[in-house]
Amino acid sequence: MFCRTFQRAGGAIQSPSRRSCVDQLLFVDSTKARSAIYSSRLLYGVQRWIHCEAVKYENMILRAFGISLLFVIFLCGWGHAKLAPDFIHPCNATTRECLIKSTQDAIPEFVKGIPSLNLESLDPFVIEKLSIPLNGLKVTFYKGKVTGFRNCIVDDVVSELEKRHFVLEFHCNLTIKGQYDAVGKILLFPINGEGDAKVKLVNLRMKVDINTKYIKDENNLNHFALKNYKYTFDYGDRVYFDLKNLFKESKELSQTVLNFLNENWKTVAEEFGKPIVDYAVDLAIRTIEKFFLAVPYEELINVPIPKF
């Protein structure tokens, strides 16, 4: 159709020459080819531009998602990081069986101290100086090291969440080593001594009765807190005393008085031992209180706080 033209000359139809037809055909074909090439390149360019924009957009989305994810992880980790040590095994109910086992599992590690929570060691712990005023005798302990709490045996645990009441009963052997000085009298024996001291309590039995409350911290997290406590104890099966140099002038008299102390250990312990036990219990209670204030309630027991 491109190389055929119709001209009317004197009523006759004339066709163009063959040369003219070929030229036109070549021109048209060349134009179509250039147009096709141009269109192809344009299409390729558009496709490349679309691909690049899509990649850029995808990268922007991934970066935004990654930043958001990191931000969420940061907030979650900051706001809800687990604070309870791994040796804390929360109970799902306040049954004696679970509470006894959970407490028993925790004691050996807990008494070592938890530096991350700023909790001091309870085994050993050191009595830097403790004065014990007795009837007619003044005894002062220096740098006394108390050991044995890590081997305590839990006898009973009662947790009454509704009444905010907690009871712990246990027994253990404790050893106290340090220095002492003593001036005064024990019965008819005059004492004027100083030296090494060792006291060993076999199967000391104790019951600690604690009234608690529930509080919230600045992050709105729940915590146990202590209102007050009381405790009772007995010295168990035996108390052994080993006090060197009770009489500076006489080893023989020192040994005689020491024998008397050990033969009458119960009477002596009731006067001599209570200040040491008071010191130990007070330190333990203050450590437990700091632990409760550091670790949220929900990490210590899997039972909701009772509604009041």
Single pTM value for the model:
0.70
As a whole number of angstroms, the distance between CA 19 and CA 39 comes to 30
Q: Is the pLDDT of residue 17 over 80?
A: no
Q: What is the pLDDT of residues 102-145, one digit of tens each?
A: 999 999 999 999 999 999 999 999 999 988 877 778 889 999 99
Q: How confident is the model at residue 48 (pLDDT cuts 50, 70, 90)?
A: low
Q: What is the pLDDT of residues 249-284, one digit of tens each?
A: 788 888 988 998 899 999 888 877 888 889 889 999
Q: What is the pLDDT of residues 199-236, one digit of tens each?
A: 999 999 999 999 999 999 998 999 999 999 999 999 99
Q: Is the pLDDT of residue 9 over 70?
A: no
By the 8 A CB rule, do 118 and 132 touch? no
In single-letter form, the type of residue at position 274 comes to K
The torsion angles phi and psi of 294, rounded to 5 degrees, stand at: -90, -30
Q: State both tokens at 178.
A: 């340090």
Q: What is the mean pLDDT of the chain?
A: 80
Q: What is the pLDDT of residues 75-93, one digit of tens each?
A: 444 455 788 899 999 999 9
Q: State both tokens at 242.
A: 């080993």
